[in-house]
Every structure is written in structure tokens, then in C-alpha cells.
Structure 1
Amino acid sequence: MLTLFHSPNSRSTRVLALLKELDALDDVKIEIVTIPRVDGAGARDARNPHPEGKVPLLVHDGVAVWESSAILLYVAELYPQAGLHIPQGHAQRGAYLSWFAWYSGVVEPILTLEAAGLKHPYITSTFRSSAEVIARLEGVLARQPYLLGDQFTAADLLLHSPYAWFGKPGNPVIDAWVDRCMDRPGARFAAEYDKAHPLPQA
């Protein structure tokens, strides 16, 4: 049994998109919960078992999986027939895993710190900046449609998500990649699902 704790228009929206891409929605119970929002709206929901009151949280047969990168990796591998992951033994497995780690360890911290207006030499020396993120993505996507080549994977779904949410960076190569990702069935489904499911009271 799979249960996804989800809050509309949040980081968990990308998990919904992946579930649609995997044709796995019938296997998942979706629990809509509230979360504290940056603008002060929302609140922690007692129904959400996440220890920090966040989403997404996936519970599979009583075992919790948290953090978007881990959940997307985990779910994509549960449904190998969909072809959205790179399996063990494949030549690109290391690169596939590296994109997930890079997102969590570099991309999201950079974008969050820059959105907060925070600058410090420690930040730059550790994470670099959004300019380096864009250059890294452009270097790959200028020669192929997706991060791993011709195949759209869960890595593309994760990495494009901040640009789908906050706006494309204005780089033609990256903007075209974001458009390709946003035009997929998963992204369209997740957007419509969130519109159709208002938040419950906390």
C-alpha cells in the first residue's frame, strides 16, 4: 500500500506528476494536508506523519520515505516498466543518481538562498550560484533533449521543477527543455489535480 501525503502547489506536486507518468495513481492513496507556507499561510497538519510537518511524504507498507529526490527515485524504481529510471548496471546509472544528489545538495540550496537575498563567500564557494547551475544544465541540454539523452526520466521531472514553478530562466536551451517537461502528461495532470482539490482545514 502506497500513501502520499500531498499539499497542492507544493514540492509534492512533482510526485503527483511522476505517479501519473508511471501509470501508478490507482495504486496510491493521496492524503491532502496543509503545511506552513512562506507567506505565513497554512499550518502544520496533525494528520501528516512527517516529523517536520512537510510534504512530500510517501508511506509504503508502513515504511516512510521522505525528501523529493528519494521519493522520486524510489517510486520510479517500483515501476520499471514505465522506463523513467536508469537501472543498476546501466552505463548511465551513476549520472542518473548524480543529478538527484546535485539537485538536493546544490540546486535547491542555491535557489532558496538567492530567493532569500542571502550572499556570503561560504555560500558561493560551497554551492556556486544560479549562473553555474544554468551553465551546467545548458552544457548538457544543448546536445540532447533530456539530461540522460533522448529518454525523459525522473531526473528531468525533478530538475525542471523549480523553473516550472518560479519561471523559466530565459536561456533558450533550458527554456525549451522546461517546456518539453511541462508539456508531458504528468505535469498537466498534476496542475489540474491541484486546481481541483482545495486544501482542507488544518
Structure 2
Amino acid sequence: MSDELVFYTHPMSRGRIVRWMLEEVGAPYRTELLTYGAGMKESAFRAVNPLGKVPALRHGGVAVTETAAICAYLADAFPEAGLAPAPGDPQRGAYYRWLFFAAGPVEAAVTDRALGVVVPEERRRMVGYGSMAEVLDALEAAVSAGEYLAGGRFSAADLYLGSHLMWGMQFGGIERRPAYETYVARLAGRPAAVRAREIDDRLIADRPQP
């Protein structure tokens, strides 16, 4: 079975997070660019992701969807890249905690805010994030505790949560706080992050985007 990495994406999507992760991993990969609409709904791609959404990854015979899951998968599939605490390392808990905090409460709270959804105070127990204020305070405490989220070393959790902070602050979904800006500045200058941005920005410039 081939162990080829195939990355399905659009340069104006959450695929930018996975591109950064792939550049951190350093393994060769092939990019399949899909267009919004018909391109993502074709049967060939739906065999990879039935929802017809990017990003998605195929690694040999394994298909992985959902951005956080792809990041976690790549960290474990390529342990030599050092993007996750090893199994048994006590920092593995913090790694999982913040990776999936970003995938759950952060994304849900930011999406609700963008859609104008206001959760009544008496119903906050029904939503996983409670309130936007609580999410933002938890994030601030996490990124202020040290340089990185899990044991003082950069990991996929930093890449994923940091990406949400970068996008959120850029587009107004997350308020700017000094602790956030210090944290994301530390991440954005990583060589893999720079390469990934350059690749996707060039793709946006070079082709029409439906």
C-alpha cells in the first residue's frame, strides 16, 4: 500500500492550517486543489469526505477529515517531527486539552458570534462553551502560562489554537488582547508557518477563486 500523503484543500479555507502542519512535518505531500461548489461535491472527493468539504487528507489507505483530527493524526504519524508529547508524557493531557478546546468551545463560540447567536444566560449550560467571555479568559490564561501550551515546546496544539487566534483577531471574531498578540507573534514567524502562508497566498494570487 502506498504511503503517499494527498492533501485536499482550497487556499481560502481551514486548509491553511493543515498546510502549515504539513510544512512542520516535513514529509513530501501532493496537493489536490478543489473549487467551492461542484469541485468539492464530486463523487471522487466525497469518497474521501462525504460532507464534500476541505481540508481532507489521504495517507495511503487512510482518509482523515476535520482539521484538528488531521493535525493530531499527522503529529502521531510522524513522531520524528516532535509535534506532540509522546504517549505517557504527562504533557499529553495539556496537548489534547487545548487542541480540542480550540476545535470545540473556541470555534463554536466564534461561529455563534459571527452568526449573531446570543445564548441566554439561563441556557448557557446547554452550550459547550458557556459564554464567549469565559472562552476568551480561558484562552488568555492558557497562552500566558508559558511560551507554549504543552510542556514548553511547540506542538500541534499551538499550531491549531494559534491559527484560530490569528484568524479570529484578523477578522474581528476574537478581540485583540496583548497576551494573544504576543503568543501568535511567536508562532507566525516559524519557518514552516511562513512557507505555508507563501504557498497559499501564491495560489490565491495565481488562480481565479470561485
TM range (shorter): 0.7 to 0.9
Aligned match of 2:131? 129
The residue type paired with residue 124 of structure 1 is R
Q: Tell me whether 1:176 sits opposite 2:177 in the alignment.
A: no
- Percent sequence identity is 37
Report the alpha carbon displacement of residue 51 of structure 1 after superposing the two structures with TM. 0.9
Q: Tell me whether 1:4 sits opposite 2:7 in the alignment.
A: yes
Aligned match of 2:114? 115
3-state SS in 2 of match to 1:65: strand
Scaled by the length of structure 2, the TM-score of the pair is 0.84
3-state SS in 2 of match to 1:44: helix
1:148/1:201 Cα in 2 relative to 1: closer, same or farther (>3 Å)? closer
The residue type paired with residue 176 of structure 2 is G
Q: Tell me whether 1:195 sits opposite 2:201 in the alignment.
A: yes
- Give the 4+ runs in structure 1 shifted more than 3 A: 42-45, 198-202
Structure-2 separation of matches of 1:102 and 1:167: 17
Say what the alpha-carbon RMSD is for the aligned residues. 2.2
Structure-1 separation of matches of 2:95 and 2:101: 10
Q: Which runs of 5+ in 2 are unaligned?
A: none
Report the alpha carbon displacement of residue 54 of structure 1 after superposing the two structures with TM. 0.7
Report the alpha carbon displacement of residue 62 of structure 1 after superposing the two structures with TM. 2.3
Maintained 8 Å contact 1:3/1:29: yes
- Comparing both structures, which one devotes a greater share of its residues to helix? 2
Structure-2 separation of matches of 1:131 and 1:66: 30
Maintained 8 Å contact 2:102/2:164: no
Report the alpha carbon displacement of residue 56 of structure 1 after superposing the two structures with TM. 0.9
Aligned match of 1:44? 40
Q: Tell me whether 1:57 sits opposite 2:56 in the alignment.
A: yes
Report the alpha carbon displacement of residue 83 of structure 1 after superposing the two structures with TM. 1.1
Report the alpha carbon displacement of residue 163 of structure 1 after superposing the two structures with TM. 2.2
Scaled by the length of structure 1, the TM-score of the pair is 0.87
Report the alpha carbon displacement of residue 123 of structure 1 after superposing the two structures with TM. 6.4
Structure-2 separation of matches of 1:23 and 1:7: 20
Alignment map for 1:68-147 (pairs within 5 Å):
68-121=67-120, 124-125=124-125, 126=127, 127-147=129-149
RCO higher in structure (CA 8 A, sep ≥6):
1
Output one character per residue of 1:42-64: Cα deviation in whole Å (capped at 9) or x when no partner. Answer: 86342533211111111111221
The residue type paired with residue 196 of structure 1 is R
Structure-2 separation of matches of 1:183 and 1:76: 20
Structure 1, 161-170 or 176-185: larger mean CA deviation? 161-170
1:123/1:172 Cα in 2 relative to 1: closer, same or farther (>3 Å)? farther
Report the alpha carbon displacement of residue 172 of structure 1 after superposing the two structures with TM. 0.8
Q: 1:22 aligns with which of 21, 25, 29?
A: 25
Maintained 8 Å contact 1:34/1:200: no
Tell me the matched-pair count. Answer: 195
